[in-house]
Structure 1
Amino acid sequence: MRTSTRIAGVLSGLALVLGGAAFTAPAAHADVSACINQVERELQGGEAPEAVRKACSVGYSGEHEECVSGLTKSGVTNGTAVSACKVSIQ
C-alpha cells in the first residue's frame, strides 16, 4: 500500500472519530446547562455560583439526591432543586 493512500485513510478515520465526538459532547453540556439555567431563573437573572454548577454536574452523572442536596446548600429552594436535578439527567 502506498504511503499517501495510508495517510489519507488514517486522516479520514481521524476526521470521522473527531466529528462523532463533536456531536456527542454538546448533548452532555446541554443537560448540565439546563439545570444551571433553571436555578438562574430562580435567582432572577443572577449568575449561578460554582457550587450550583458542581451540583448540576453531579446530577448529570445520575446522583439525584446529591444534586438536590448540593443545590439546597447553595440557597436554592427545594422545589427548584428537585426539578433542576431532574432536568440535568434527561
Structure 2
Amino acid sequence: MRTSTRIAGVLTGLTLAPAAHADVSACINQVERELQGGEASAAIRTACYDAQSGDQKKCVTGLTKSSVSNGTAVSACKVAPN
C-alpha cells in the first residue's frame, strides 16, 4: 500500500471519529438549552448515546423520564445518530 493511501486512510478515520462525539454533544447541548443552564445528568447523556447507537425510542423515553419535554427529546434524539 502506498504511503499516500495510508495517510489518506488515517486522516479519514481521524475526521470521522470526532463527528460521532459531536452528534452526541449536539443532543446533550439541545437538552441543556431547555434546562436553561443546567448540566445534563448521566441519564440524559446515556439517552443521547442510545440515540447515537440507533435506538431513537429509547432515547426519547430516557429523556422524557429525565423531565425533558417530549418536543425537545424528539429533536435532540434526531441530532444524535450518525
- State the TM-score, normalizing by the size of structure 2: 0.84
Which aligned runs of 4 or more in structure 1 are off by greater than 4 angstroms?
11-18
User: Which sections of structure 1, spanning at least 5 residues, go unmatched?
Assistant: 1-8
Deviations 1:40-78 (A, max 9, x none): 000001110111111000001110100000111111111
* Equivalent position amino acid for 1:29 in 2: H
TM-score (ref. length: structure 1): 0.77
Q: Which has the higher contact order (CA 8 A, sep 6+)?
A: 2
Larger Rg: 1
Aligned residue in 2 for 1:63: 55
Which runs of no fewer than 5 residues in structure 2 stay unpaired? Answer: none
Q: Can you list the C-alpha shifts for 1:20-54, whole angstroms capped at 9, x where unaligned?
A: 33211111011101100000000001110111111
Q: Pairwise CA RMSD of aligned residues?
A: 2.0
Q: Matched residues, percent identical?
A: 60
